[in-house]
Amino acid sequence: NAGVTQTPKFQVLKTGQSMTLQCAQDMNHNSMYWYRQDPGMGLRLIYYSASEGTTDKGEVPNGYNVSRLNKREFSLRLESAAPSQTSVYFCASTGRDSGELFFGEGSRLTVL
């Protein structure tokens, strides 16, 4: 019972490099989310997708792009990584308009 799977779990980048974080869920959920977690700031929403084919900005979208490839997959791309993007990234999904979010285990990204 996989739930929400994120890859990679760890990544180190140099400033200016690009990368994509992958997320997949096997619960047939409509909505998917990308959050970043920084010490003392809780989780902040980067982008979300209410359904396949739609994406919307959250609180902190600058420097990121997303793709809702299909109902299962929601990827987060950093086109030109910056040290301020060093963080732990969490993907989440939910099957209802509001309610329980199911989280992946996180991707720890360091930008040097």
Partner 1 sequence: AQSVTQLDSHVSVSEGTPVLLRCNYSSSYSPSLFWYVQHPNKGLQLLLKYTSAATLVKGINGFEAEFKKSETSFHLTKPSAHMSDAAEYFCVVILARKLIFGQGTELSVKP
- 62, 59, 63: which is closest to 16 by C-alpha? 63
Cα distance between residue 83 and residue 57, in whole Å? 21
Residue 87 tokens read as 């963080």
Residue 104 tokens read as 């992946």
- 1, 2, 58: which is closest to 34 by C-alpha? 58
Closest to partner 1 by CB, 17 vs 73, is: 73
The least CB distance from residue 108 to partner 1, in Å, is: 9
The least CB distance from residue 71 to partner 1, in Å, is: 18
The least CB distance from residue 75 to partner 1, in Å, is: 18
Cβ neighbours of 48 (radius 10 Å): 22
Closest to partner 1 by CB, 28 vs 42, is: 42
The least CB distance from residue 80 to partner 1, in Å, is: 26
Closest to partner 1 by CB, 63 vs 106, is: 106
Cα distance between residue 1 and residue 9, in whole Å? 19
Closest to partner 1 by CB, 62 vs 97, is: 97
Residues that bind partner 1 (CB under 8 A): 4, 33, 35, 40-45, 48, 50, 58, 90, 92, 97-101, 103-106
